[in-house]
Amino acid sequence: MNTVSSVQHLRDAVAQARRAGQRIALVPTMGNLHAGHVSLIEQARRSADFIVASIFVNPLQFGANEDLDSYPRTLAEDQDKLAAAGCNLLFTPTVSEMYPNGMHGQTRVLVPGVSEGLCGASRPGHFEGVATVVCKLFNMVQPDLAVFGEKDYQQLAVIRSMVRDLNLPIEIQGAPIVRAADGLALSSRNGYLDAAQRAAAPALYRSLQQLAERLRAGETEHAALIAEAQRAQQAAGFRPDYLEIREAFSLRPATPADRSLVLLTAAHLGSTRLIDNLSVTL
């Protein structure tokens, strides 16, 4: 696996693969990789010949009081994991390489509708930063396909909407959530949890599972069901941010008539904010 840090070297390597007739896949990440990220590379390998991963902790998607400075950076370990998974090229740009004219004057991509509410409400400007950096990466690599994890369900919806609205000729694939044996969704931020918090963390997913069971049993009072699930989160030590029942494809608030649902939640455990989701078909 080769590692490059400039856009020109990235484009040169991708152009060589394309001249060889290879199908190109892109897996954007912020590094500190775990088994969930590795699964994205493995899924990309099943659909493409030449796999490009990026590691870039994007300051444009972090709010003023978020963990940009403390976000874990583990490049050497990440390179080993990517190489073992079959990644061909790793792109590790600096902030100045991605935003040569600074972030203040950077053209930005705003995706209305699906970016609103949920994490979009809790983290103002976050999805604008995500859409902007992903759009830049798409233009730099010009992949045939890109793979994103379904754990960040709203992010995946934002990217799909951007690709559709801007007529980008890129296939977007979602990859299933990878979970620990106790059900906790794998996340780079799980490393912030102390031992007691880590033991309590699976309750977040259990609250979604219990809510899903009630919906499958035919209960339709969404507000009451959500309130009960959030009480369960609080009993486990969480400070709920949101828990919502949305229509799975549009992400609009679900109605009792909807059959394809997604349950989305975010909650703080100590100072760590965790997110999770669960799809439900009625």
Catalytic residues: 37
Give, in degrees to the nearest 5, the angle at Cα 27 between 24 and 28. Answer: 130
Residue 96 token pair = 């100045």
Q: 3-class DSSP state for residue 51? A: strand
Q: 3-class DSSP state for residue 83? A: helix
- Residues sharing a CB contact under 8 Å with residue 189, sequence separation 6 or more, in sequence order: 67, 272, 273, 274
List the strands of the sheet with 272-281, edge to edge: 239-247, 260-269, 272-281
Query: How far is it, in rounded angstroms, from Cα 152 to Cα 20?
Result: 34
Structure letter (DSSP) for residue 247: E
